[in-house]
């Protein structure tokens, strides 16, 4: 380790925090909020906690057990989506932000709850550093949440779909510390490294039709705004 990576990592953290800070401007008193998952969403949760400790009144639905734990630590009032089935705003990170604010999400393994919460929200603001902006989705392997039963059969079905759509690449069962990664919902994740995905909507449609696929990390038509922090400042993108 040369140490050369440290300033870049520190810069990346600062950019995530800058995007999170700008997203706070979207939050109004009394709002019902969805809280995303991941390091950028964590930055937002921490900043929101400061505001709440200063008197801001909001109620929040977390998209993962990890976010629930952090949100509790910083003093946020939590609710379930059953308590509050309609939300005003969700703030979440992304692995990639493509044209029309189509996203790849699920790098942190929370895509199912993230998508349910985003779909229940009047608005979804994505916060990210500029490295997440892409011209075409697919540089980041697409996470696909599947049921454990028949995981290999489902993996092969995903490969057949990809081939039929002219996509090539590896589809791997996600592991962590030598064990199969298990989501908060008790499912597995496939990471599909197809490279460029020229037609995300067609792929999303195909994946939704595969038995064993619970949900996939293509978020199309859900994000209403992206707040992206780069070295030149913070830009706000809308559809």
Applying CB under 6 A, the residues found at the interface with ligand 5RP are 36-41, 92-95, 105-111, 114
- Alpha carbon distance 214, 188 (integer Å): 9
- Alpha carbon distance 71, 48 (integer Å): 9
93 annotated as ligand-binding: yes
Catalytic member of 26, 114, 145, 215 = 114
- Alpha carbon distance 40, 234 (integer Å): 14
Nearer to ligand 5RP, 194 or 219 (CB): 219
- Alpha carbon distance 140, 25 (integer Å): 29
16 annotated as ligand-binding: no
Element at 102 (helix H, strand E) = none
The conformational region for residue 166 under phi > 0 = left, psi -120 to 50 = alpha, else beta, is left
How far CA 101 is from CA of 24, 119, 124, 171, 174, in Å, comes to: 20, 15, 10, 25, 26
Backbone torsions φ then ψ of 225, nearest 5 degrees: -155, 145
217 annotated as ligand-binding: no
25 included as an active-site residue: no
**Rounded to the nearest whole angstrom, what is the least distance from the CB of residue 104 to ligand 5RP in the complex?**
8
Nearer to ligand 5RP, 131 or 164 (CB): 131
Nearer to ligand 5RP, 153 or 180 (CB): 180
30 annotated as ligand-binding: no
Backbone torsions φ then ψ of 15, nearest 5 degrees: -70, -40
Q: Decide: 137 and 200 in contact? Cβ < 8 Å.
A: yes
Nearer to ligand 5RP, 15 or 157 (CB): 15
Name the token pair of 179.
């064990």
**Rounded to the nearest whole angstrom, what is the least distance from the CB of residue 164 to ligand 5RP in the complex?**
27
How far CA 211 is from CA of 86, 151, 158, in Å, comes to: 29, 10, 10
- Alpha carbon distance 113, 64 (integer Å): 7
Nearer to ligand 5RP, 11 or 166 (CB): 11
95 annotated as ligand-binding: yes
92 annotated as ligand-binding: yes
Binding-site residues sit at: 37-40, 92-95, 105-108, 132
Binding-site residues for substrate sit at: 37-40, 92-95, 105-108, 132
For the annotated catalytic residues, the residue numbers are 114
């Amino acid at each position: 380790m040369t140490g050369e990576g440290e300033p870049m990592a520190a810069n990346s953290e600062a950019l995530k925090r800058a995007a999170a800070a700008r997203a706070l401007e979207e939050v109004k008193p009394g709002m019902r909020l969805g809280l995303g998952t991941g390091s950028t969403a964590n930055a937002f949760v921490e900043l929101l906690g400061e505001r709440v400790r200063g008197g801001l009144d909001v109620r929040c639905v977390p998209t993962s057990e990890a976010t629930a734990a952090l949100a509790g630590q910083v003093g946020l009032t939590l609710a379930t989506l059953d308590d509050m089935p309609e939300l005003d705003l969700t703030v979440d990170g992304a692995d990639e932000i493509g044209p029309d604010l189509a996203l790849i999400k699920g790098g942190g393994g929370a895509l199912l709850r993230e998508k349910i919460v985003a779909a229940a929200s009047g608005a979804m603001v994505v916060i990210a550093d500029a490295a997440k902006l892409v011209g075409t989705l697919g540089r980041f392997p697409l996470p696909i949440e599947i049921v454990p039963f028949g995981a290999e059969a489902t993996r092969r079905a995903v490969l057949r779909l990809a081939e039929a759509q002219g996509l090539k690449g590896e589809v791997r069962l996600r592991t962590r510390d030598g064990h199969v990664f298990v989501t908060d919902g008790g499912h597995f994740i496939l990471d599909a490294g197809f490279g460029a995905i020229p037609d995300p909507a067609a792929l999303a449609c195909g994946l939704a039709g595969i038995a064993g696929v619970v949900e996939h990390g293509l978020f199309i038509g859900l994000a209403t705004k992206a707040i992206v922090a780069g070295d030149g400042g913070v830009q706000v993108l809308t559809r």
